[in-house]
Amino acid sequence: MLAVLAPGQGAQKPGMLTEWLELPGAESFFRWAGAIADADLLTLGTTGDAEAIKDTAVTQPLVVAMSLFIARELGGLPGPVQHTPQAGRDVVIAGHSVGELTAAALAGVLSVEAAIALTAVRGRAMAAACALTPTGMSAVLGGDPDELAAALERHGLVAANINGGGQTVVAGPLDALAALKDDPPGKARVMPLSVAGAFHTDFMAPAREQLEGLVGGLRPAEPSRLLLSNADGAAVSTGAAALARLVSQITSPVRFDACLATMRDLGVTAAIELPPAGALSGLAKREWKGTGIEVLAVSGPGDLDRARQLIEAERGRAEAQYSPDWRVVVAPARGTVAPAELAEGTHVPAGAPLGCIRSRREEVGVSAAYAGVLAEWLVQDGDLVDAGDPIARLYPEVSV
């Protein structure tokens, strides 16, 4: 099985488009993508300095457009094939943060145009949210997780990205981040990141609300490839669920460590990171050390031939079947949860009601997407949840 990794904000570098413009159609693609995003992506990606491409409003569509162009240049990925969440196929796709919009397009949930347009709206909305309060992010490398958790609570910070490979990105007010750097947990290094604000925290709530008001106009398709979510590393079963998670992740932590664990459990044999590549490849290599999984960062045109070889190898390989031990039922909306009166261990048929989510505006039902056994409730009556938050675990029903 081949994994495709789509990077997020922070992966950008000055001049990152320059060497790719030698490829046929590159210049016109980025002019077209820039028209959709209402930003001069071609200039930003060639002559823009580090400060210019740090701007969240333009960085996000630039990164997504670049990844999508190189995916197209690779001639597409294995498939498309139809699958269910219980059956893995020859490719699995995962994006990091805004890279999840790239992943959604590669999985067939969104068109390339819709992915770029939604990314541009997301970037502008998050930039506006960043301007409201001086916040930022820092990478914490190494250290004891319990000591880090205690330090974050002490300083009023949150873990915004749990990336795997011993890396956690924390976020919050700038003075709190400075205090953490001055007094880091034992054996940990704290590195401030060049980002505009505290992404994936409640500081981004205005941006999330803006996207919530827009996505109802989209009509997502069902995933035609195995698509993993940053929320919990689980496969997304429907286009609607993928879209809901793309909105909720704006204020929710990125669990890329869970995505890497799922890919390892799926039996991934190789991984390709789309440009601007490097960050996710490094995480994967550290997390998968000793597994023999080949990880390729497509850093320049010279890497395309090897990427094509890895894709072609998967086209010739028999489809792998994957039956996960359990699946997560997630909240379809934000609100207060009212679980159904079902005891753990109860068999539930596909479509069985599992409760509801109540907000001031509406009540949304929660049901089982497939038949299985209720393994564990992850919430209690009256708990507050966001869209995409896990509610229960089901052991899937397996046909013998």
Nearest CA to 198 out of 172, 175, 176 is that of 172
Q: Which two tokens stand for residue 306?
A: 């090897």
- The helix or strand, by DSSP H or E, that contains position 373, with its residue range, turns out to be strand 372-377
Dihedral sign from CA coordinates of 49, 52, 56, 58: negative
Nearest CA to 146 out of 202, 176, 187, 190 is that of 187
Per annotation, catalytic residue among 83, 96, 138, 200: 200
How far apart (Å, rounded) are the C-alpha atoms in residues 302 and 307?
Answer: 10
The answer to whether 200 is a known catalytic residue is yes
Pairing between β-strand 91-95 and β-strand 135-142 as defined by DSSP bridges? unpaired
The answer to whether 83 is a known catalytic residue is no
Q: Which residues contact 28 (CB under 8 A, 6 or more apart)?
A: none
Per annotation, catalytic residue among 67, 97, 252, 281: 97
- The helix or strand, by DSSP H or E, that contains position 206, with its residue range, turns out to be helix 205-212
Opening angle at CA 228, ends 99 and 278, nearest 5: 40
Q: Give Dmax (Cα) for the chain.
A: 61
Q: Which residues are catalytic?
A: 97, 200
